Amino acid sequence: MKNWKTNSWRKYPVKHLPEYQDKKELDQVLNKIKTFPPLVFAEETRHLKKQLSDVSDGKAFLLQGGDCAESFAEFNPDNIRDYFKVILQMSLVLTYSASLPVIKLGRIAGQFAKPRSAPTEKQGDKELPSYLGDNVNGIEFSEKARKHDPKRLFKAYSQSAATLNLLRAFSHGGFADLKKVHLWNLGYIKKSPQAKKFKELEDKIAGALAFMDACGINSEFNRRLKTVNFWTSHEALHLPFEESMTRIDSTTGEYHATSAHFVWIGDRTRQLDGGHVEFCRGIENPIGIKCGPTSKPEEIVKICNLINPTNEKGKITLISRFGHDNVGKFLPKLIRGIKKEGVNVIWSCDPMHGNTIQSTTGFKTRRFNNVLKEVKDVFSVHQSEGSYAGGLHIEMTGQNVTECTGGAKNIQDQDLSSRYHTHCDPRLNADQALELAFLISDEIKKNSSYSKNAIQAAS
C-alpha cells in the first residue's frame, strides 16, 4: 500500500513516546510480542467497521467508554464484570429509547499509554519523569517506579488478553441475555433515581420478552437475544507496541492493528505530518480522531483524506472534546468544513476531556453538570447543522468511585478523597454514567431525525 510499512512512522516526528534507557531490552520485548497471538481477529474488525457504517448513516449509535488509563492495580474480574454491567445498562437505555442498535466499544483491554502535559513531575524539590501509563512506568513518585521499563509492555499485553477473554465470555456466554437484565444492577446504586428508572425499563422489557416468548421468539430461537457484540479500543499512542501488534491478514493481504478492533489518535498527537497519523493511515481498522479547540477544520479534512482516501463509511470517527463552554464556538465550523468536502465521518462526543479542572481540594475532577451541558450542546448543534450526533465517548467505571463531582448523589469537592482511584483522569461512576445515558435518550427522543432514521433502519 501507498508507500507504507508498519515501521514507516519512525521517519516522522513523534510526540509523547517514552524514552527507554535500555533499547536492547525494549527490542527483545517487542520481538517477543510480535510472536504472540493477536488480541483481535481481522474479520471482527471488518464486522465493527460495517456496524460503524450504519452509525455513519444514522442507523445506529456508538457507545465508547471505560477507564482513562487501565492499571495493573485495579485489574480483577469483579471490576471487569461491573464495568461490563454498566455498559450493558447504558446500551439498553439507549437502544430502548431510540430504537436503534447500540455499538458497544470499550476503552479497555489495551488502554494503558497516556500523553502527559509535561515530561517531568515535581514534588517539593524532587523532579522525576511523569507517569506515562502502567505499560511504561509506575504511578508511585519514586525513581524506581518512574523508570521506563519495557517489561511492562508485555505485562499490559497479557492483562489485555485476560481482560478480553473474560469480556468475550460475558458477551457470548449468557451474561448479556436480556432475560437477565435484573442481574446487571450494581448493589451500590440500587437506591438512586437512576436505578428506579432502570427498574421501570426492566419491567417493560420483561413484558416485551414475555409477549415475544408467547409468539415463539425467545433466546433459544434467536441467539441475538442472549449475546452481544462487544468491541475494544484504545489510543494508538505507544507506536512501538502498536507496530509489534500489526499483522497482515492472510485472507486479504491487508494490515490490521490486532491490539484492538478500533484505535484512536489523541488530541495531542494528531499532527498531519506526525508519526501517529502515518501509522494509522496504513491499517484497516476503524480510526477515531480526537478534535479539540486547536483543531483546524481544514487540517482535520486533510487527516481524514490521508487515513481514508477512499472515503469509506465507518472508517473515521471524529470525537469532539471542546469543553462545555466551547461547543458553539468550534463544532459548527468543524461540521461545515467536513460537510463542504463531502468527507464521511461518524460524529461522536467526548464530554470529558474538555472539562477537566482542579477541585478546591486539589483533585483533578470534572463537574457532572458540565459533562451534561457539553452533551446537550453537541446534540443541539448537530440538530441545527443537520448532522447526526452518532456517538458518545466517556471515561467511566463500574466501581463506586468519587472522582467527578455532582450527579444524583451530588458528590462535592470534599468527598473526592473518599474513593478516588483513577490512575489518570476522573471517571464517571455507575450512577453518573447511567444518568448520562438517560439524558442522551431524552435528547434522542427530542430529535425527530432519529426516529426517521430508526424507521428507515427497521424497514
User: Which residues form the interface with ligand PEP (CB under 6 A)?
Assistant: 68, 115, 235, 266-268, 290, 321, 353
Helix axes 23-35, 151-172, angle to 10 degrees: 30
Residue 350 CB, nearest approach to ligand PEP (Å): 6
Count of residues engaged in binding Co ion, rule: CB under 5 A: 2
Cα distances (angstroms) measured from residue 81 to each of 77, 85, 185, 199, 399: 6, 6, 11, 20, 10
| Range in contact with Co ion (rule: CB under 5 A) among 21-29, 246-254, 303-311, 417-425 | 417-425
Residue 286, Cβ neighbours under 10 Å: how many?
28
Q: Return the amino acid letter for 308.
A: N
- Residue 134 binds what, of Co ion, ligand PEP, none (CB under 5 to 8 Å, by partner type)? none
Which parts of 224-360 fold into alpha helices (H)?
A: 239-244, 275-281, 297-307, 327-340
**Torsion of Cα atoms, 131 then 136 then 138 then 144, to 10°:** -100
Residue 65 CB, nearest approach to ligand PEP (Å): 11
Residue nearest to ligand PEP (CB): 266
Residue 353 CB, nearest approach to Co ion (Å): 6
Contact status: 425 vs Co ion (CB under 5 A): yes
Exposure b/e, 87-124, CB count within 10 A at least 16 = b = bbbbbbbbbebbebbbbbbbbbbbbbbbbeeeeeeeee
Distance CA 272, CA 265 (A): 11
Distance CA 12, CA 126 (A): 33
Contact status: 68 vs Co ion (CB under 5 A): yes
Compare residues 7 and 294 and give the one whose CB is closer to ligand PEP. Answer: 294
Residue 455 CB, nearest approach to ligand PEP (Å): 34
Helix axes 193-214, 77-98, angle to 10 degrees: 70
Compare residues 53 and 137 and give the one whose CB is closer to ligand PEP. Answer: 137
Residue 271 CB, nearest approach to ligand PEP (Å): 13
| Range in contact with Co ion (rule: CB under 5 A) among 61-69, 208-216, 320-328, 443-451 | 61-69
Contact code string over 153-172 relative to Co ion, x by CB under 5 A: --------------------
Residue 456 CB, nearest approach to ligand PEP (Å): 32
- Residue 321 binds what, of Co ion, ligand PEP, none (CB under 5 to 8 Å, by partner type)? ligand PEP
Report yes or no: 102 and 65 within 8 Å, Cβ to Cβ. Answer: no
Residue 301 CB, nearest approach to ligand PEP (Å): 19
- Residue 337 binds what, of ligand PEP, Co ion, none (CB under 5 to 8 Å, by partner type)? none
Report yes or no: 335 and 381 within 8 Å, Cβ to Cβ. Answer: yes
**Window 241 to 260, contacts with Co ion (CB under 5 A):** none
Which regions of 67-164 does DSSP assign to beta strands (E)?
A: 102-107, 120-123, 126-129
Distance CA 155, CA 162 (A): 11
- Residue 238 binds what, of Co ion, ligand PEP, none (CB under 5 to 8 Å, by partner type)? none
Compare residues 117 and 250 and give the one whose CB is closer to Co ion. Answer: 117
Compare residues 228 and 404 and give the one whose CB is closer to Co ion. Answer: 404
Compare residues 68 and 260 and give the one whose CB is closer to Co ion. Answer: 68
- Residue 267 binds what, of Co ion, ligand PEP, none (CB under 5 to 8 Å, by partner type)? ligand PEP
What is the Cβ-side half-sphere exposure of residue 191, based on CA atoms within 13 angstroms?
Answer: 2
Compare residues 54 and 425 and give the one whose CB is closer to Co ion. Answer: 425
Phi, psi of 411 (to 5 degrees): -65, 130
- Residue 324 binds what, of Co ion, ligand PEP, none (CB under 5 to 8 Å, by partner type)? none
Report yes or no: 227 and 180 within 8 Å, Cβ to Cβ. Answer: no
Contact status: 235 vs Co ion (CB under 5 A): no
Compare residues 115 and 337 and give the one whose CB is closer to ligand PEP. Answer: 115
Q: Which cell is 288 given? A: 477515531
C-alpha closest to that of 247 among 259, 238, 255, 236: 255
Three-state SS for 319? strand
Residue 123 CB, nearest approach to Co ion (Å): 22
Residue 96 CB, nearest approach to ligand PEP (Å): 28
Q: Could you list the residues that contact Co ion (CB under 5 A)?
A: 68, 425
